[in-house]
Protein backbone atom coordinates (compact mmCIF):
# COMPACT_ATOMS: atom_id res chain seq x y z
CA UNK A 1 0.00 0.00 0.00
CA UNK A 2 1.29 3.46 -0.87
CA UNK A 3 1.54 5.59 2.29
CA UNK A 4 -0.20 8.90 2.66
CA UNK A 5 1.95 12.03 2.84
CA UNK A 6 1.70 14.80 5.39
CA UNK A 7 3.82 17.82 4.50
CA UNK A 8 5.00 20.76 6.59
CA UNK A 9 6.78 23.33 4.43
CA UNK A 10 8.69 26.51 5.20
CA UNK A 11 9.07 26.27 8.98
CA UNK A 12 11.44 29.16 9.82
CA UNK A 13 13.71 28.84 12.84
CA UNK A 14 16.42 31.23 13.99
CA UNK A 15 19.42 29.25 15.25
CA UNK A 16 23.18 29.38 15.76
CA UNK A 17 24.51 26.57 13.54
CA UNK A 18 27.53 26.78 11.26
CA UNK A 19 31.27 26.23 11.08
CA UNK A 20 32.22 29.89 11.45
CA UNK A 21 32.40 31.72 14.78
CA UNK A 22 30.21 34.57 13.48
CA UNK A 23 27.46 32.08 12.55
CA UNK A 24 27.49 30.71 16.09
CA UNK A 25 27.56 34.20 17.61
CA UNK A 26 25.03 35.98 15.40
CA UNK A 27 22.78 33.12 14.35
CA UNK A 28 20.74 32.98 11.17
CA UNK A 29 17.53 31.72 9.63
CA UNK A 30 16.99 28.07 8.79
CA UNK A 31 13.96 26.86 6.87
CA UNK A 32 12.73 23.31 7.36
CA UNK A 33 10.49 21.18 5.14
CA UNK A 34 9.34 17.72 6.21
CA UNK A 35 7.29 15.12 4.38
CA UNK A 36 5.96 12.29 6.54
CA UNK A 37 4.85 8.97 5.06
CA UNK A 38 2.17 7.34 7.19
CA UNK A 39 -1.18 5.60 6.96
CA UNK A 40 -3.85 8.20 7.75
CA UNK A 41 -6.83 5.90 7.10
CA UNK A 42 -7.30 4.89 10.77
CA UNK A 43 -7.28 8.53 11.89
CA UNK A 44 -9.59 9.59 9.07
CA UNK A 45 -11.98 6.69 9.65
CA UNK A 46 -12.32 7.47 13.34
CA UNK A 47 -11.85 11.23 12.93
CA UNK A 48 -9.29 10.87 15.74
CA UNK A 49 -6.23 13.11 16.03
CA UNK A 50 -4.59 10.62 18.41
CA UNK A 51 -4.22 8.15 15.50
CA UNK A 52 -2.11 10.46 13.36
CA UNK A 53 0.59 13.11 13.84
CA UNK A 54 -0.51 16.46 15.27
CA UNK A 55 1.29 18.77 12.84
CA UNK A 56 1.03 21.78 15.16
CA UNK A 57 2.83 19.94 17.93
CA UNK A 58 5.29 18.48 15.43
CA UNK A 59 6.17 21.98 14.19
CA UNK A 60 6.99 23.05 17.76
CA UNK A 61 9.08 19.92 18.36
CA UNK A 62 11.05 20.50 15.15
CA UNK A 63 11.54 24.19 15.94
CA UNK A 64 12.79 23.37 19.44
CA UNK A 65 15.19 20.74 18.06
CA UNK A 66 16.55 23.08 15.39
CA UNK A 67 17.02 25.95 17.86
CA UNK A 68 18.87 23.76 20.41
CA UNK A 69 22.51 22.71 20.65
CA UNK A 70 24.43 24.33 17.78
CA UNK A 71 26.14 22.03 15.27
CA UNK A 72 28.51 22.70 12.40
CA UNK A 73 26.66 21.02 9.54
CA UNK A 74 23.16 21.24 8.12
CA UNK A 75 23.53 17.50 7.49
CA UNK A 76 23.70 16.96 11.25
CA UNK A 77 20.70 19.21 11.74
CA UNK A 78 18.70 17.23 9.14
CA UNK A 79 19.47 13.98 11.00
CA UNK A 80 18.26 15.56 14.24
CA UNK A 81 14.98 16.60 12.61
CA UNK A 82 14.50 13.12 11.13
CA UNK A 83 14.88 11.61 14.60
CA UNK A 84 12.26 13.97 16.02
CA UNK A 85 9.78 13.07 13.28
CA UNK A 86 10.39 9.32 13.47
CA UNK A 87 9.73 9.43 17.21
CA UNK A 88 6.05 9.58 16.22
CA UNK A 89 4.87 5.95 15.89
CA UNK A 90 2.65 6.38 12.82
CA UNK A 91 5.53 7.75 10.71
CA UNK A 92 7.25 5.14 8.55
CA UNK A 93 9.43 7.45 6.44
CA UNK A 94 10.44 11.08 6.54
CA UNK A 95 11.97 13.38 3.97
CA UNK A 96 13.73 16.36 5.57
CA UNK A 97 15.01 19.44 3.76
CA UNK A 98 17.09 21.94 5.71
CA UNK A 99 17.51 25.24 3.88
CA UNK A 100 20.19 27.74 4.87
CA UNK A 101 19.19 30.75 2.76
CA UNK A 102 21.60 33.13 4.49
CA UNK A 103 24.66 30.86 4.30
CA UNK A 104 28.00 32.69 4.14
CA UNK A 105 28.59 32.28 0.42
CA UNK A 106 30.37 35.28 -1.17
CA UNK A 107 28.39 35.07 -4.42
CA UNK A 108 24.74 35.74 -5.24
CA UNK A 109 22.57 32.67 -4.56
CA UNK A 110 19.01 32.00 -3.50
CA UNK A 111 19.40 28.96 -1.26
CA UNK A 112 21.56 26.08 -0.12
CA UNK A 113 19.94 22.97 1.31
CA UNK A 114 20.39 19.33 2.23
CA UNK A 115 17.69 16.72 1.65
CA UNK A 116 17.66 13.39 3.46
CA UNK A 117 15.20 10.50 3.55
CA UNK A 118 15.05 8.23 6.57
CA UNK A 119 12.91 5.15 7.20
CA UNK A 120 11.81 3.50 10.40
CA UNK A 121 13.99 0.40 10.56
CA UNK A 122 12.67 -3.02 11.44
CA UNK A 123 13.54 -4.26 14.92
CA UNK A 124 15.89 -6.84 13.38
CA UNK A 125 18.08 -4.31 11.56
CA UNK A 126 21.62 -5.07 12.79
CA UNK A 127 23.15 -1.61 12.38
CA UNK A 128 20.18 0.65 13.03
CA UNK A 129 21.02 4.01 14.57
CA UNK A 130 18.88 6.40 16.56
CA UNK A 131 18.98 10.14 16.07
CA UNK A 132 17.66 13.11 17.95
CA UNK A 133 18.66 15.50 20.68
CA UNK A 134 18.53 14.72 24.39
CA UNK A 135 15.21 16.56 24.63
CA UNK A 136 13.80 14.69 21.62
CA UNK A 137 15.54 11.34 21.67
CA UNK A 138 13.90 8.86 19.35
CA UNK A 139 13.73 5.23 20.31
CA UNK A 140 12.75 4.47 16.74
CA UNK A 141 15.64 3.08 14.71
CA UNK A 142 16.16 4.86 11.42
CA UNK A 143 17.86 3.89 8.20
CA UNK A 144 19.14 6.11 5.41
CA UNK A 145 18.07 6.21 1.81
CA UNK A 146 19.88 8.01 -0.96
CA UNK A 147 16.71 8.56 -2.98
CA UNK A 148 14.87 11.84 -2.25
Residues 6+ apart with CB under 8 A from 37: 3, 4, 5, 91, 92, 93, 94
- 141 SS3 class: coil
CA proximity to 37, closest of 86, 118, 93: 93
Residue numbers annotated as active site: 100
Amino acid sequence: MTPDLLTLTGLEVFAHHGVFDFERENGQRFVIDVELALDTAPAAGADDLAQTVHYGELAIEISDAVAADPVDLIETLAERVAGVVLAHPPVQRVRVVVHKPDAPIPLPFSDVSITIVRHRASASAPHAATTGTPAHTSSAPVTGDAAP
